A and B are shown apart, each in its own frame.
Chain A
């Protein structure tokens, strides 16, 4: 009789290389956090979000049930341990939130080949053959040894899996767990996913110099741009805009927004040239 399985999305990473919150990065208009939650729910399991104590009130995370880290500076192991402690009789399918290529088939494969008699079930990395710790099922019995490893300062979950009794599977598709840590990797991921992404209609309004250069005051564009910044880059191919992005601001749905705000179908976007009131 195997332990009931829950899903845990890790979102506590500091994203130093990306310089922005990886959980909130969007591909095809869906944040990585929402995407991971959706993939878990598609397997019929509940989805929890692992957060650091200072992330509890962040709005995108607050929409989901949360498990708060108890360990400080233990990296992903802190989130895994907090989940195992919160529901000691449950097993946890742990997902990093920055796996844009992960798909339902891979998760279904993992669940179908789960071995509840081992401490964990996971995949072999397509790059180095080592266990992939952040798309893996951790059984209740993993709690005590992982706790001991963290207490000894060995916080790396990959190291833990290498030295434990785990079931390792080959990946159905080798690139499916490639993660995305830098803006460059993100751009190539977005390009690779481009063929599979659907475009969404977005309404763009133009004022002043941008209105004259676009030759219209508004248009609806079908775009796969995930953010206003990407949308602006795409629109430069259509219109002879001269103002650099540093001189523009952007508003989405009637208020100022960040260039990395995820875009959704039906959003109204306005690029704001330097103002000159008075």
Chain B
């Protein structure tokens, strides 16, 4: 991440390869120099607050939106207007448009004609699992049912790259668990590259193998989940001891309960770091993924002015992501 390769160096073996991607809307940079490599057959979590740029990024990957600057490759090829590449990709959007006169079965019929690996049996099974009436008009579906149709399309498409952009809106806890279970089962059977863009981080914490955190259009964290969680810890103890321990580390957040301080610490928190904390008499706990993401986003705060910040784009990502 220290040197930014030119577009020529895009890695041909990556499923998704993104370099210097920027997109500005009036008054706001939705994406601001995003670099990303996603490799085959993993489940990625694309995290970030509302407006962090997740949807814009996913739509640019599909060639639905246009970037102001930067390069995108899917399977080593430019996706824009390339049917051969795009039919290997399925993006499930929360705000997908459906023709007024289409019923559920029409949507599935359409998808079956467009995705070469479409699995009709799986789609039928999922319809039953999610209690979807195939003859019901899309206009008459509840918010949750609409989301369920998207989930069915995404899973049954068996596309080599499947992107879910907040697919759970209106789905109850039971239906969401069903989705996660089905996704994992299908993934185990036929590995593919999955990107889950979601706010419900705790629900997918065990599912996602790699975390990409977007914040104000930049990549804040790009790390596999395990080493990300290993790189941080909740350290609890007397205020002065905690601060002594944290002096040469990065503190994402502090909570005080009387004299007791609890700090979310990252940087050099591998086994030796933990041992050091324990030796000081501090309590060390793992940080739940959701909390780590929230604290990292909070610590990043508002982005510095664009012009002044060009040489430190992924400072935190480097410190958390590359810690062994």
A, B co-complexed: no
Taking Cβ atoms with an 8 Å cutoff, the residues of B that contact A are: none
Taking Cβ atoms with an 8 Å cutoff, the residues of A that contact B are: none
